[in-house]
Amino acid sequence: MGKTFDELNERLIEFIEAQQLFFVASAPTGAGGHVNLSPKGLDSLAVLDAQRIAYIDLGGSGIETQAHVQENGRLCVMFCSFEGAPLQLTLGTLALSASPLMVLCACCGQMIWPHTRLI
C-alpha cells in the first residue's frame, strides 16, 4: 500500500537527488488531446525545499509539457530506483511555468510512495 506525505522528508530528498532519470507526465484539460509522458535527466532537476522542486524542461518533439502546464498547471513527476531497493516516488504537483524552459512544481500533498495510481 502506498504512503502519502505532506512534504518531502530527508530520505525522499536524498532519493530524488540520487536519480539520474525521472519522468514527467501531463495532459490537456479536454478529451481531445493526448497524454504526454517524457523522460528527463542530465542534472536538470533541483529540490528547492520540502514542498518545491524545479526542473529545466528541454523541449523536444512539440513541447507538449509546456503547453499542458500553461493550460491547466497539472504535472505528475515520477522517480523510480533502477538499482538497490525498489522504490517509486510520484509527485502530483501544481506546475508553475516560470519561463519556457523552467518548470517550478509546488507539491500539493499528493506524494505517493510506493506507487499508487493517481489517475
Write down the domain spans for the chain: 3-113
* Backbone CA torsion sign across 94, 74, 47, 116: positive
CATH number for the segment(s) 3-113:
2.30.110.10
Q: Are 78 and 89 in contact (CB under 8 A)?
A: yes
Of 74, 71, 40, 43, the C-alpha closest to 57 is 40
**What's the rounded Cα separation, in Å, for the pair 29 and 33?**
8
Q: Which of 20-24, 57-61, 73-77 has the lowest mean pLDDT?
A: 57-61
Task: Give the pLDDT score at 59.
Answer: 65
Mean of the per-residue pLDDT values for the chain? 77
Task: Give the pLDDT score at 13.
Answer: 92
E strands, 1-119, in order: 3-5, 21-26, 36-41, 45-49, 52-56, 74-80, 88-97, 102-113
Per residue in 28-51, pLDDT (tens digit) is: 998 888 888 988 887 888 888 888
Residue 2 has pLDDT above 80, yes or no: no
**Residue 23 pLDDT grade (very low, low, confident, very high; cuts 50, 70, 90):** very high
Q: Which of 15-24, 56-65, 67-76, 102-111 has the lowest mean pLDDT?
A: 102-111
Task: Tell me the whole-structure pTM to 2 decimals.
Answer: 0.78
> What is the enclosing helix (H) or strand (E) of 71?
helix 64-72
Q: What is the mean pLDDT of residues 8-18?
A: 91
Q: C-alpha cell of 81?
A: 530506483
